């Protein structure tokens, strides 16, 4: 999908090799206005100000992956339709 939309990846990091720390996620939330949280087959959009760190964690306690930031929007977790919307395809 990234190739199809010609999206450019500026930073990539392995969630297993270098997991996100709370400070990293707080910085991401401060840089966006909207967060789309994908859990299973559902995706919900919320204001970044309303989101707490636990909203972004999966059942294991780790942060959901992938996290994709496009402009002032952040997608947390995988959801094909939300990803397509985020990338504008």
Range 54-82 burial, b when 16+ CB lie within 10 A, else e: eebeeeeeebbbebbbeeebbbbbebeeb
| pLDDT given for residue 89 in this prediction | 54
Q: How much of the chain, in percent, has pLDDT values that exceed 90?
A: 65
What pTM value is reported for the model?
0.85
Give the model's pLDDT for residue 7.
65
Note the pLDDT tens digit of each residue in 53-82. Answer: 999 999 989 999 999 999 999 999 999 999
């Amino acid at each position: 999908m990234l190739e199809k939309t010609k999206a450019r990846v500026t930073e990539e990091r392995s969630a297993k090799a270098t997991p996100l720390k709370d400070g990293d996620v707080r910085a991401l939330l401060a840089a966006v206005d909207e967060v789309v949280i994908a859990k299973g087959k559902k995706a919900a959009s919320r204001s970044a100000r309303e989101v707490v760190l636990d909203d972004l964690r999966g059942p294991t306690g780790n942060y959901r992956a992938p996290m994709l930031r496009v402009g002032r929007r952040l997608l947390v977790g995988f959801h094909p339709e939300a990803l397509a919307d985020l990338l504008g395809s």
